[in-house]
Structures are given as structure tokens and as C-alpha cells.
Amino acid sequence: MKPVRNPVPQLASMFDGWLSPGVRVGNIVYTSGLVGWDLETGKILTTGTEAQVRRIFEGLGFILKAHGATLNDIVKMTMYFTDRKTQWPAFDKVRREIWKTDPPATTGVGVDQLEQDAQVEIEAIAIIPDV
């Protein structure tokens, strides 16, 4: 199967050059890790962890939509936290709003630093229905 890389105009300023926001192989979409960028400036949101997490899920939604999927099609997420203990509650709050039941499998990893000093980065794998 040949990988498919569809453009994601909403994130174009963040993914210029060699990086693909998402790649589809068959009915599986793999996203790049996203941080909480301000879509206008390309800078990290400074309004807290929850705002960054909400922006990340918005970005994941754009990527998945470009490949015919939605957030509800995510089966696995990996999150990277610079301070997992204090940042997990904000992530969990937003995650519970999106998935009332049956959330995707998740892994949370503590790291020393993320791009532009972001607090959280999330990557996802989704299965597109009926491809």
C-alpha cells in the first residue's frame, strides 16, 4: 500500500517543509505529534495546559478530517508531558469531554522539554471506517 499524505490547510504554517501532519496507509491514519500552537502566530499558547490540549485536539481533528476520519476514530494516543503530575488532569478533563465512554488506548510519557517549551504533545493513530 502506498502512503497517502493529504494537505491540512488549517495547519499549513506549522507543517511547512518536510514534515507531514498525518499519513494514511490503508485505513490507518498516523498523525505527527502536535503541540498547542496559536494557529495565527505559530507560537505556543500561553494560556495554560488545558488551552494547549484543546488546541491539540482541534489540530488532530483537522488532520483526521483530511483523511476521512474523526477524533472518535482514534484508537491509540501517546502524550508527552513536561510535568505529567500537574498536566494530566487538564488532558483528562478534555479527553473525557470528547470520549464519554470507550476512550482510546493511551500512554503518557514524562519528558524534559518539548518544542517551543510546550507543556503537552499528543500523537494519535486512527482507524478510518469503511475504507
Residue 48 lies in a domain: yes
Name the pairing type of β-strands 120-127 and 74-81.
antiparallel
> 56 φ, ψ to 5°?
-60, -50
Q: What is the pLDDT along the chain (131 residues), one digit of tens a residue?
A: 788 777 777 776 666 666 788 999 999 999 999 999 988 888 999 999 999 999 999 999 999 999 999 999 999 999 999 999 999 999 999 999 999 999 999 999 999 999 889 999 999 999 998 75
Considering the domain boundaries, does residue 35 fall inside one? Answer: yes
pTM of the model: 0.91
Please return the burial class of 63, using the count of CB atoms within 10 Å of its CB with bins 0-12, 13-18 and 19+: buried
Q: 14 near 37, Cβ under 8 Å?
A: yes
Give me the CATH number covering residue 93: 3.30.1330.40
How many domains does one find in the chain?
Answer: 1
